[in-house]
A and B are shown apart, each in its own frame.
Chain A
Amino acid sequence: MTAPLIDIQDLRVGFRAGGRRMVEAVRGISLAVRPGEAVGIVGESGSGKSLGMLAVMRLLAGGARITGGRILFDGEDLAAAPERRMAALRGRDIAMVFQDPQSSLNPALSIGRQIVDVVVAHQAVSRGRAAEIAVDALERVGIRDASARLGAYPHEFSGGMRQRVLIAMAIACRPRLLIADEPTTALDVTVQAQIVDLIAELRRDLGLAVLFISHNLQLVAEIVDRVVVLYGGKLVEDADVFAIEDSPRHPYTRLLKACVPSLTAPPGPLFAIDGAPPRLGAMPPGCPFAPRCPRALPRCAAEMPPLTVEDGRRLACWNPQ
């Protein structure tokens, strides 16, 4: 078993909401990714998935901060690393692609300039050489005639092409870990599929480790090796993608799978989970899913179940299936 590339240990992220009270949004999540492995992080709003990954990049803003835990990248604790060290790692060893390709690119600079800037910031190369690297990266993400399009500005691209440009920028420095935060949510369905396929392709060709964050289990299942399910800031289940699909054991995972509409199920009412996700700052003391869980025991509401490990599956449930 190879050593993990990134080993997140008991990560906690909190922020001050309105008044002076500290609200914890990520409540002790542990997660390791091996080199070249693709892991899907699935959860709904408030599950802590985006905040947790922003914490890994140390890009928390607006009063949010890491309140506990360690983030070991190649053995180095990112949670405690100085900002200068993080700036060097970001974009070179760990790259991130965001949901909205519109706001992630500077509209006033050509895409070539933006990619070259990233390359020059991290590698001791001339701008000429950096431009070659940029062309390579753009071609790799499927932008034809890349050298001619270096001078183009973001508005000249469609949403899907912009996301490709961002992915090109992310892989230009050959990072070892790519964090993709809902990279397809803002895109049209047909384009979504292309971007998912592209990320799968890049991962294969470049040996990238990928953390793919999404609310859509179906989408994630298409490309990852392993799925981590988060709910209410806690990790509830983590298993091989086939195990998650074939035999989910946490009731939330099961229900989440069931309520995704499909093109094969008989038409008629969809399966729905009653209730709504817990609100931040109003987390139940026990399992966060207990109030909506059909299998809840009295104990579930009172006490958070510990994370158990069995056959490579991690599970936090008092009454699993």
Chain B
Amino acid sequence: MTKLRQALAIVDWSGWLGAAIVVAMVGAAVLAPWIAPFDPVAVNIEDRLTAPDAVHWLGTDQAGRDVFSRILFGARASLAVGIGAVLIGGLIGVSAGIFAAYKGGLAELAVMRVVDAVASIPLLVWAIAIVGVLGVGPVQVGPLSLPNEVKIVVLVGCLFSPVFARVTHAVARRVVSADFVKARWLQGAGHWAIVTGDVLPNCLSPIIVQATLLVAIGIVVEASVSFVGLGVQPPAASWGTMLSDARNAIYSGEWWLPVFPGLAISITVVGFNLLGDAVRDLFDPRSEARTLVA
């Protein structure tokens, strides 16, 4: 416990700010049904386009829906896509990177060239193209009906995987050549035991850092895809669709419609980036002073 406290002592204010933003956003997403003052999809024509006031803190939109409630519910879509895509991309990319580094030789060459090929695909364009081709309706996989969001998550996850693969490969190569891995091999330890017990745990810190940064990118991708109408489908709330709906308001003066969803995206992205930087510092306790003395 004291060790944890010592480690946390090096996190500066920006790291704590990032952590606070991330916790707040995740909290908002999870608790949205309980803390949202209004139903996010309830249409109320009488109250349409009211400016922020004591009742509707962030105003209402063209259909009289409460902007604050919609932002809270929108956080669900944003975070689900960001985190879901990172989990899928991480699973694929980390496995590929570790496999390549551990196996070496031609297998390594082959895997990493495939990774390069996937990485050369322009991420956003493909996400839009594929959803465009498949349509925005639910996809039937056997007995399961997958909503459009799942498509986005899987797609973005696949497109994130090369990033994870490269980061993991770079660290894992170093770890695999360490003497403690050789020692395990000399003892006749199984490959699975070596990979999960010795290689992976020593690769985790850059992977976690990468993950927090990619969650932020995932949120932007979700907003972009929803903005062009291929993501979360109306009337459900998403920061991207809210921005899309607010396009006309920019000219007609209802400033709160584009500003608040935009702010939600920016603050969340900044939050994850700050958290990522702090996590990197946390996992890298080798200060220069220590190496000097050694």
Contacts and interface: CB of A to CB of B under 8 A. Distances in A.
A46 interface: yes
Interface string B263-294: 00000000000000000000001011111111
Main secondary structure of the interface of A (DSSP, over half): loop
Interface in B1-57: 6, 9-10
B287 A54 contact: no
Interface string A1-26: 00000000000000111111000010
A19 B9 contact: yes
Task: Classify chain B: how many residues form its interface, as a range.
Answer: 10 to 19
B15 to A, nearest CB: 16
B292 A50 contact: yes
A63 B293 contact: no
A61 to B, nearest CB: 5
A63 B293 CA distance: 12
B9 A20 contact: yes
A198 interface: no
Given A17-B287, A63-B287, A63-B288, A280 B293 contact: yes
B6 A25 contact: no
A299 to B, nearest CB: 29
Contacts of A50: 292
A62 interface: yes
A61 B288 contact: yes
Interface string A266-309: 00000000000000100000000000000000000000000000
B292 A18 contact: no
B288 A62 contact: yes
A158 to B, nearest CB: 24
B6 A62 contact: no
A96 to B, nearest CB: 14
Contacts of A63: 287-289
Contacts of A16: 287, 289
Interface of B: 6, 9-10, 285, 287-294
29 contacts: A15-B292, A15-B293, A16-B287, A16-B289, A17-B289, A17-B290, A18-B6, A18-B10, A18-B287, A19-B6, A19-B9, A20-B9, A25-B293, A45-B293, A45-B294, A46-B293, A50-B292, A51-B293, A60-B292, A61-B288, A61-B289, A62-B288, A62-B289, A62-B290, A62-B291, A63-B288, A64-B289, A64-B292, A280-B293
Interface of A: 15-20, 25, 45-46, 50-51, 54, 60-64, 280
Given A51-B293, A60-B292, A61-B289, 20 more contacts: A15-B289, A15-B293, A16-B289, A17-B290, A18-B6, A18-B9, A18-B285, A19-B9, A20-B9, A45-B293, A46-B293, A50-B292, A51-B292, A54-B292, A62-B287, A62-B290, A63-B287, A63-B288, A64-B289, A64-B292
